[in-house]
């Protein structure tokens, strides 16, 4: 049986379960990881928590086949290098979720009832009841950004406080939100109407710094912001200014680095903890058991459903996963405020055999995650948890579409239903968008900054668009303007030399009386 190295204070239940199944196990949290790897270079499995598994660590273990992250986040593991070394990386999603959800409740109550400063004061011998007048959680409005494992558990834990819950999640359906007792709404509404806002979204190019002066300026005086997600989501300087102006309460458990030292938010955090969300005996035990169970299932039954950096199957070019991501993300942008409730796919030619490998990039695009590996073991669960139906249609290859795919998104905004259909292929090793709805022969390389404008086909519209862009000092790199003759509409797609702001999009939409106008920015990930 494989040798397993556990260089962390993981519950010993993992080691025991593995030993019971005849695995050789070395668990040592005291020795530095590099030294441990040198001493046990024959290890085939590495089970870690927040330890950094770098390329150097991987190279120290020439027989390494599997790295298991006992928890959800795997940003401390070099998954790309692991893939190059043919090392699979797993996580144990959901194992820590309840611990984080309960921590949010603890932070809210501590912040509202001023538990920390009151404790310090009372221990000194003071009696300052009037100084520590607090607030109650009951009957408040709580806004939750991100309704995955943690967000949904937080909704359950809040139920006893009789709160109103507002939620934002790019992939959750109205039906699922209603089922769990959440009113889906915009991020702006959450910040404007909530007494408490809790963040549970990933940090990526779309979310980094998103909690800025604009959103913070919408918050109620005295409202609370809780961050147990990722530090980079919040613009600290903007929060510092908003806190001073609005007397906000800020509770925090995440930092740029999990390490000792001064913390930049120390002056604005009312309660701050050393990333304790998953630091419970129960979460540690659950993560330990799952990491052991997944290791056993991997070696003895070949189960790889939790692998987050799966290699591509033979015969599939990675660019087709990139294509699936692009088509879905463009479709999502086209639908704008509509929540996606159904995804229909068509894979032509030899791509039909690889349909299941397209699910992760589609899920990543819906969730706004631009990670390049497109290999999340939870991709299918994303659809199920959020009530999104995924349908892969049978295709007619007599249409001779070659190696191409069509992805349709059906969205809902209240009682209104919207649909978009996007087709693409790979040409000369380049991802190409060939059709959007009935606008044929677009042949657009999605890389770069783009402006999409749909309008009634009348003379002079193109001139208005180019004039507005020129006045904004935006150069046009390329332009497409296919027509839908049946409906009398046109779709202009402008590729620009720099990002197009929301203000410019709004100006173009107004000037052209467009039915749709939006910016689409994409940088090749693979």
Is there a single domain that holds both residue 420 and residue 330?
Answer: yes
The alpha carbons of the chain give a radius of gyration, in whole angstroms, of 25
What residues contact residue 50 under an 8 Å CB cut-off, 6+ apart?
Answer: 8, 71, 76, 258
The 3-state DSSP class for residue 356 equals: helix
In a domain, 452, yes or no: yes
Locate 455 and state its tokens. 């309008």
| Domain end call among 252, 272, 292 | 272
Q: Looking at residue 233, what is its pLDDT?
A: 95
Q: pLDDT band at residue 152, thresholds of 50, 70 and 90?
A: very high
* Euclidean distance between the first and the last CA atom of the chain, given in angstroms as a whole number: 36
Ramachandran class of 92: left when φ > 0, alpha when ψ lies in -120 to 50, beta otherwise: beta
The pLDDT tens digits of the residues spanning 346-404 come to 999 999 999 988 988 898 888 876 544 455 556 766 787 778 999 999 988 887 788 99
d(CA 103, CA 109): 10
Is there a single domain that holds both residue 236 and residue 351?
Answer: no
Range of the domain at 453: 448-526
Instruction: Give the Cβ contact number of residue 414 at 10 Å.
Output: 9
Among the listed ranges 104-113, 122-131, 311-320, 435-444, which one has the minimum average pLDDT value? 311-320
The pLDDT tens digits of the residues spanning 168-221 come to 998 888 889 999 999 999 999 999 999 999 999 988 777 899 999 999 999 999
The pLDDT tens digits of the residues spanning 83-125 come to 889 899 999 988 889 999 999 999 999 999 999 999 999 999 9
Q: Which residue has the higher pLDDT, 407 or 86?
A: 407
Instruction: State the DSSP code for 220.
Output: P
Residue 413 contacts residue 339 (beta carbons within 8 Å): yes
In a domain, 306, yes or no: no
Residue 198 is part of a domain; what is its CATH number? 3.40.50.720
In a domain, 463, yes or no: yes
Residue 487 is part of a domain; what is its CATH number? 3.30.70.260
Residue 415 is part of a domain; what is its CATH number? 3.30.1330.90
The pLDDT mean for the chain works out to 92
| Domain end call among 437, 469, 485 | 437
Residue 36 contacts residue 5 (beta carbons within 8 Å): yes
In a domain, 488, yes or no: yes
Is there a single domain that holds both residue 108 and residue 228?
Answer: yes
Q: Looking at residue 524, what is its pLDDT?
A: 67
Q: Looking at residue 153, what is its pLDDT?
A: 96
d(CA 262, CA 411): 46
Is there a single domain that holds both residue 453 and residue 342?
Answer: no
- State CA 250 to chain mean position distance: 23
Is there a single domain that holds both residue 183 and residue 102?
Answer: yes
Is there a single domain that holds both residue 46 and residue 82?
Answer: yes
- Write down the H helix ranges in 172-279: 174-180, 187-193, 213-216, 236-246
d(CA 97, CA 111): 21
**Total length of the chain:** 526
Is there a single domain that holds both residue 204 and residue 243?
Answer: yes
Q: pLDDT band at residue 259, thresholds of 50, 70 and 90?
A: confident
Q: Could you give the number of structural domains in the chain?
A: 4
Is there a single domain that holds both residue 371 and residue 492?
Answer: no
CA distances from 342 to 233, 237, 287, 395, 418 (A): 29, 40, 32, 18, 11
In a domain, 11, yes or no: yes
Is there a single domain that holds both residue 112 and residue 211?
Answer: yes
Is there a single domain that holds both residue 89 and residue 118?
Answer: no
In a domain, 506, yes or no: yes
Nearest to 216 by CA among 198, 201, 234: 234
Is there a single domain that holds both residue 138 and residue 257?
Answer: yes
What residues contact residue 46 under an 8 Å CB cut-off, 6+ apart?
Answer: 4, 5, 6, 7, 53, 57, 61, 64, 66, 67, 68
Q: Looking at residue 374, what is its pLDDT?
A: 56
The pLDDT tens digits of the residues spanning 492-509 come to 999 999 999 999 999 999
Is there a single domain that holds both residue 158 and residue 251?
Answer: yes
In a domain, 378, yes or no: yes
Instruction: Give the Cβ contact number of residue 38 at 10 Å.
Output: 12
In a domain, 443, yes or no: no
């Amino acid at each position: 049986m494989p040798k397993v190295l556990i260089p962390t204070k993981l519950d010993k239940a993992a080691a025991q379960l593995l030993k019971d199944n005849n695995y050789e196990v070395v668990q040592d949290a005291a020795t530095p990881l590099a030294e441990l790897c040198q001493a046990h270079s024959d290890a085939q499995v590495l089970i870690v928590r927040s330890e950094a598994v770098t390329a150097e660590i991987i190279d120290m273990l020439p027989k390494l086949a599997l790295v298991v992250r006992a928890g959800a986040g795997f940003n401390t593991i070099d998954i790309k290098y692991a893939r190059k070394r043919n090392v699979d990386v797993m996580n144990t999603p959901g194992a820590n979720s309840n611990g984080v959800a309960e921590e949010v409740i603890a932070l809210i109550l501590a912040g509202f009832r001023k538990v920390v400063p009151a404790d310090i004061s009372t221990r000194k011998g003071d009696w300052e009841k009037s100084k520590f007048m607090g607030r109650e959680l009951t009957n408040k409005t709580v806004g939750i950004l991100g309704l995955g494992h943690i967000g949904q558990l937080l909704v359950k834990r809040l139920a006893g406080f009789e709160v109103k819950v507002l939620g934002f999640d790019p992939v959750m359906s109205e039906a699922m939100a209603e089922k769990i007792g959440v009113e889906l709404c915009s991020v702006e509404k959450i910040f404007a109407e909530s007494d408490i806002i809790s963040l549970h979204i990933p940090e990526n190019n779309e979310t980094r710094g998103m909690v800025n002066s604009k959103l913070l300026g919408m918050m109620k005086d005295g409202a609370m912001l809780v961050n147990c997600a990722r530090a980079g989501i919040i613009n600290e300087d903007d929060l510092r200014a908003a806190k001073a102006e609005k007397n906000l309460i800020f509770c925090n458990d995440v930092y740029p680095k999990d390490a000792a030292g001064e913390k930049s938010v120390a002056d604005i955090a009312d309660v701050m903890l050393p990333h304790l969300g998953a630091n419970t005996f129960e979460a540690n035990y659950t993560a330990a058991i799952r990491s052991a169970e997944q290791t056993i299932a991997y070696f003895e039954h070949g189960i790889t459903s939790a692998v987050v950096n799966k290699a591509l199957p033979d015969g599939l070019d990675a660019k087709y996963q990139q294509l699936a991501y692009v088509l879905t993300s463009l479709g999502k942008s086209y639908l704008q405020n509509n929540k996606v409730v159904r995804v229909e796919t068509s894979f032509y030619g030899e791509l039909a055999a690889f349909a299941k490998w397209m699910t992760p990039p589609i899920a990543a695009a819906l969730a706004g995650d631009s990670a390049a590996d497109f290999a999340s073991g939870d991709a299918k669960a994303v659809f199920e948890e959020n009530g999104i139906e995924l349908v892969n249609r049978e295709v007619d290859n007599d249409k001779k579409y070659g190696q191409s795919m069509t992805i349709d998104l059906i969205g809902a905004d209240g009682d209104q239903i919207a649909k978009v259909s996007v087709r693409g292929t790979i040409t000369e090793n380049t991802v190409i968008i060939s059709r959007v709805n009935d606008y044929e022969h677009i042949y657009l390389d999605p890389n770069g900054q783009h402006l999409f404008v749909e309008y009634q086909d009348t003379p002079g519209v193109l001139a208005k668009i180019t004039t507005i862009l020129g006045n904004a000092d935006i150069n046009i790199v390329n332009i497409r303007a296919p027509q839908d003759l049946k409906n009398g509409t046109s779709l202009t797609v402008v590729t620009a030399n720099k990002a197009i702001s929301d203000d410019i999009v709004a100006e173009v939409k107004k000037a052209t009386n467009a039915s749709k106008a939006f910016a689409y920015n994409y940088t090749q990930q693979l």
